[in-house]
Amino acid sequence: MKLLIILFSALFFKSLIWWLVVPPWQAPDEQAHFVQLQWYAEKKTLQIAELNLSREVALSEELLGTKRDNFGNNKYTYHPDYKIAYAKNFNGINEGLINSQPLSARTAYVGREAAGYPPLYYQLALPLYNLFYKNGLMDRLFAVRLLSLISHLLLAFVAFLVGREIWGKGLAAIALAVMVAFQPMVSFLAAGFHPDNLLNLLYSLGILVCLRIIKNGLKPSYLAVLALVIFLGMETKILMVFFLPVAGAVIIFSRFRGKLAGGMLAAGLLLLPLAAFILQWPIPYMPVVTAASPLRSLGITKYLRFRVPKMVFEMWPWYWGVFKWLGVTLPPLIMKIITRVAALAGLGIFIYFVKVIRSKKISFETRALGFFLISSVSYILYLFFWDWRLMQSTGFSQGLQGRYLFSNIIPAMAVILIGLKSLIPPRFIFAENLLIYLLMFGMIALNFIALGTVARSYYDLTGLKVFITQLSQYHPGLLKANNLIFFGVIYILSLVWFLWYSAIKFYPFKNGKFLTDESKN
């Protein structure tokens, strides 16, 4: 428990640092989601009009360089070197103007910007918005960002619980939480106001419940929680619909465990959405292709020839981190290292299944791994087919960004962890613990590299004083000047404490059976 408290203390300050480094309107589509929240708060209705962009937010976008033209581009798009002008003090050049807009500017509408997502995430953020209602725009924006921070911490806790279900009280459960929480793009997404943070949490909760069904069998409490999670997910983002066939397959498989008919029925349920996409069954929210659709002749084969290469060369690096309006990614050398580690994990998964086939023993870890792979692969397939039908229907693709896959971030990190662990013979507990520890350390280091990449793209890092001065601008008063140094120092100290304490707690000679020269004597 003490190690968990230390970890989440470090995670809180890690999230806070990312929160500070990512400027207003630089998180994915943050301004669109804030506009929807502001509409709910100011108009007190969920019915969003065609004109919904307030003069207040529009002015801030204009002054901060994120106002988009008719092609969806702003001053940052295709110009990753662009930076706004900074003042010589802790207040931005236009910060006073942005924060001093009258209340009437919040209900004077000059354009269309609201995301149009289901309302749950915004409704949860309303108390935070209203708590700082009389404050300026920056105060309200950073206040509602707190909801993403909370969702992020809860996601890490769910990852820990998933790890506990599979590996018990070992280091691997802690490692899974670290791998999820310190994943760079997950950290970047959590730094902004975005409903994906809540969706990822709810989807992951559904995965946890499914794991418990696989482990313990069907129980009314599991079904009730699963139904609630799915309902809340659908009220957050429609991509939660992709979880329905996975959850249904788990329920059917558990109900008819050991029976061939049950397995076939579960597999059929997983394939049902693909059939619905191909045959154009009338399912909710699926793009409708008619004779008038601009790309109705685009076949699935031609679509995949276009989309799969983009997934390999674009979606993969974006999965790990794409910043500054899709203009900045992780350094090429870092991506090469990540790709090779992922390839090693893939080799480990192959070895793992070879061992399972030879031993003919299926552990809960094996069942969990199978579930993780099915959940992830089916989600990707559903996403691809949905995008294909969207292209046919509208003539353009919404684009498949790596962050769209974060609903399965816990399964993805668990697969990597299991794959790498399987490269170590089970009797070498010392080596396995060391590998897990190094994997945690590597993910934390990767997070620092990503944080530095983001900070360098926005601020001058040639001197601490200049950096703190620029970083303080367009932030609430509490998040300025020396307070930033304090938060940074606490973050580093908490991380060092966590790494040191986890090394002591899982010292291999205490818990393992590794023989040393001394033990042989």
Residue 504 lies in a domain: yes
Decide if 457 is inside a domain.
Answer: yes
- Asked whether the beta carbons of 219 and 255 are under 8 A apart, the reply is no
Any domain includes 517 = no
Query: How many alpha carbons lie under 13 Å from residue 438 in its C-beta half-sphere?
Result: 9
Q: Say if 448 falls within a structural domain.
A: yes
pLDDT for the residue 518: 37
DSSP 276-339: HHHHT---TTPPP--TT-TTTT--HHHHHHHHHHHIIIIIHHHHH-EETTTTEE--HHHHHHHH
Structural domain includes residue 516: no
Question: What are the structure tokens assigned to 354, written together?
Answer: 């070879």
Domain that holds residue 472: 2-511
Nearby residues of 45 by Cβ (< 8 Å), 6 or more positions away: none
Q: At what angle do helices 409-421 and 429-458 cross, to 10 degrees?
A: 140
Alpha carbon distance 521, 513 (integer Å):
15
Q: How far is residue 409's CA from residue 515's CA, in Å, rounded to a whole number?
A: 36
Is 156 contained in some domain?
yes
Look at the alpha carbons of 402, 404, 407, 411 in this order and tell me if their dihedral is positive or negative: negative
Q: What is the pTM of this model?
A: 0.93
Q: For position 298, what pLDDT does the model report?
A: 86
Q: Is residue 266 part of a domain?
A: yes
- The first and second tokens of residue 190, run together, are 């959590």
Q: Is 233 part of any domain?
A: yes
pLDDT for 262:
64
- Number of structural domains, the chain? 1
One digit per residue, the tens of pLDDT, for the chain of length 521 reads 788 999 999 999 999 999 999 999 999 999 999 999 999 999 999 999 999 999 999 999 999 999 998 878 899 988 899 999 999 999 999 999 999 999 999 999 999 999 999 999 999 999 999 999 999 999 999 999 999 999 999 999 999 999 999 999 888 999 999 999 999 999 999 999 999 999 999 999 999 999 999 999 999 999 999 999 999 999 999 889 999 999 999 998 888 776 666 667 777 778 888 888 877 777 766 788 888 888 888 888 888 888 888 777 888 999 999 999 989 999 999 999 999 999 999 999 999 999 999 988 899 999 999 999 999 999 998 888 888 888 888 887 777 888 999 999 999 999 999 999 999 987 777 788 889 999 999 999 999 999 999 999 999 999 999 999 999 999 998 899 989 999 999 999 999 999 988 887 766 444 444 433 333 33
